[in-house]
Amino acid sequence: MDCEGQKLAEQLMQIMLLSFAVIAIGAGYITASFQTMILTYAGGVVLTTLVTLPNWPFFNHHPLKWLDPSEAEKHPKPQPSVNVTAKKKFTSI
C-alpha cells in the first residue's frame, strides 16, 4: 500500500464506521429494537473490515518510483575517505 492508499484506507474506515453507526441508531430507534441496532452495526464493521484491511490494488494507484538499477550505476556513491582525513586533522590540534 502506498502513501496515498494509506490515507484513503484510513479515511474510508472512519467514514464507513461513522455512517454505519448513524444508520444503525436510526434503524434501531425506528424499529424499537436494540438488537436491530447492534446487528446493523456489526454488519457494518465486517463490511468495513473487508474493504479497508486487505491490501487491495486500488490502494496502490500512486506507487513510489524506485530508482532503476541501471540508472543508479551511472551515479556512483561519493567516497567517504575525504571526510575521515579532515576529522583527523582537526583532533591533532
Partner 1 sequence: MHSFGYRANALFTFAVTILGFMCAIASFTDSFNSPSPSVQVQVLKVNWFQKQPNGNDEVSMTLNISADLQTLFTWNTKQVFVFLAAEYVTPKHVLNQISLWDAIIQEKEHSKFTITTSNKYRFIDQGSNLRGKEFNFTLHWHVMPKTGKMLADKLVMPGYRLPAEYR
Give contact residues for partner 1 (rule: CB under 8 A): 1, 6, 9-10, 13-14, 17-18, 21, 24-25, 28-29, 32-34, 37, 41, 45, 48-49, 52-55
Nearer to partner 1, 58 or 90 (CB): 58
Nearer to partner 1, 14 or 83 (CB): 14
Please report how close the Cβ of residue 61 comes to partner 1 at its closest, in angstroms.
15
Nearer to partner 1, 6 or 83 (CB): 6
* Cα-based angle 25, 39, 24 (whole degrees, multiple of 5): 15
Contact 12, 49 (CB under 8 A): no
Please report how close the Cβ of residue 65 comes to partner 1 at its closest, in angstroms.
18
Say what the alpha-carbon torsion angle 27, 28, 31, 35 is, to the nearest 10 degrees.
130
Handedness of CA 49, 50, 55, 60 (dihedral sign): negative
Distance CA 6, CA 1 (A): 6
Please report how close the Cβ of residue 48 comes to partner 1 at its closest, in angstroms.
7
